[in-house]
Amino acid sequence: MRKIVASLFISLDGVVEAPETWHFPYFNDEMGAVVGSLSMESDTMLLGRNTYQMFAGFWPHQGDDVEMAAQMNGTDKLVVSSTLDSVDEWQNSTLLQGDPIEELTALKKGSGKNLNTVGSVTLVRSLLRTKLLDELHLLVHPIAVGHGVRLFDEGETQPLELVSNSTFATGVLHSVYRPA
């Protein structure tokens, strides 16, 4: 049985938006190993519209000499969106058809590796609410960003169970949760 696994870069104050503006000073080999492991354990990227469009505007234009480009471009991508009509601008991308809950439930029962969700905070919230998310990997950076989209909406309660926790030399916490 496949799992849906999400990973997010997150600040101490819960911000997940625009990590490219605050995350890189904390990236090291330890974080690279976690990101690489999550990628190797999956055969499909599960993306929301915003993350898909951001990635599709960048990765298809990168050569194989750019780190991770071959992997990002070669991996199957499944896009969850109620507003997109097509996902033709990035190779190996498919727009999820039908009811997302039914389709993702069926995919989880199928064969293959994990479905890996990167970014896509709206999708992650939805997966948590519907109990479809199996693991949530939070890479908590020792910085308060002070503004931006947060993982959880104001007033939202989401019980989680801590599976594991480790600390990188940079002070980043890698915490793995599953729905409680």
pLDDT given at position 98: 86
DSSP state of 96: P
Domains annotated on the chain, with CATH = 4-179 (3.40.430.10)
CA 73/CA 55 separation, integer angstroms: 10
φ and ψ of 12, to 5 deg: -60, -30
Give the pLDDT band (50/70/90) at residue 168.
very high
Mean pLDDT of 100-125: 93
Report strand pairing: 76-80 vs 93-95.
parallel
φ and ψ of 162, to 5 deg: -75, 125
Chain segment 6-46, per-residue pLDDT in tens: 999 999 999 999 888 999 999 999 999 999 999 889 999 99
Q: Between residues 138 and 152, which one has the greater pLDDT?
A: 138
Chain segment 67-95, per-residue pLDDT in tens: 888 888 889 999 999 999 999 999 999 99
DSSP state of 78: E
